[in-house]
Amino acid sequence: MTALTQPRASVIVRGSIDEAARVGAALIAALVRERPDAVLGLATGSSPLPLYRALRGVDLARARGFALDEYAGIDHAHPESYHSVIRRDVVEPLGMDPGRVRVPDSAGADAYDDAIAAAGGVDLQILGIGANGHIGFNEPGSGLDTRTRVVALTERTRQDNRRFFGGDVDLVPTHAVTQGLATILSARSILLIAAGRAKADAVAAAIEGPVTSECPASSLQRHPAVTYLLDAEAASGLRGA
């Protein structure tokens, strides 16, 4: 990948992530007011939780959703499967229709991009970022042309996620199915939310570093409509901060 300047990124920094999340929730509320059946790309993990909390009370009954990723080889009924997490953290508290929300499955990876396209594409993709710069589970080395596929998780990501599995890294799946970078970049708009010092280097590399497959989030510099929602700590590595 070669460097390009970022066309229209908007970097929103607030003292707390809850304040930043409220800005994001207002953008989503405006989208669904205009298009009640808007297609949302849904991230899991800790980062988007303040955004999902800030969305309570917004009418998402007709909105559609496509989750970003899912562990491979995990029972959908496992409490930490992203099927369970999306139902628990997003669909139920936000009153979404479970029939309108899809989560990928390793067996159906190839058909996932087609399903997104058949829905008219994602209007707004919500993202977190890994400490190693991953988005979705596109780990360093992922190409810009990647589509939904099964990938191996890095040791760093498995260590970062062991907190969801009782602290035991051996219980963290070794593989996942993830939307690819090309899938993510095909969304019409993107909201990336990040909080805390542990994300500062990845955020700085994503926004101000070169576009390189070593930092998959730097590929967002190629997208025309990305909004970063950051707390002061996550923004602390930015030269412009």
Binding site for ligand F6R (CB under 6 A): 43-47, 68-69, 128-130, 134-137
Considering the complex, state which of residue 166 and residue 239 has its C-beta at the smaller distance from ligand F6R: 166
Considering the complex, state which of residue 46 and residue 189 has its C-beta at the smaller distance from ligand F6R: 46
Q: What angle do CA 161, 91, 131 make, to 5 degrees?
A: 25
Contact between 181 and 143 under an 8 Å Cβ cutoff? The reply is yes
Considering the complex, state which of residue 129 and residue 211 has its C-beta at the smaller distance from ligand F6R: 129
For 30, which DSSP code? H
Minimum CB distance to ligand F6R, residue 93 (Å): 17
Minimum CB distance to ligand F6R, residue 82 (Å): 6
Burial per residue of 108-139, b for 16 or more beta-carbon CB atoms within 10 angstroms, e otherwise: ebeebbeebeebeebbbbbbbbbbbbbbbbbb
Considering the complex, state which of residue 10 and residue 159 has its C-beta at the smaller distance from ligand F6R: 159
Considering the complex, state which of residue 18 and residue 35 has its C-beta at the smaller distance from ligand F6R: 18
Minimum CB distance to ligand F6R, residue 196 (Å): 8
Burial of 50: CB neighbours in 10 Å, binned 0-12, 13-18, 19+:
buried
Closest residue to ligand F6R, based on beta-carbon distance: 128
Minimum CB distance to ligand F6R, residue 88 (Å): 14
Taking the C-alpha atoms of residue 105 and residue 74, their distance in angstroms, rounded to an integer, is 10
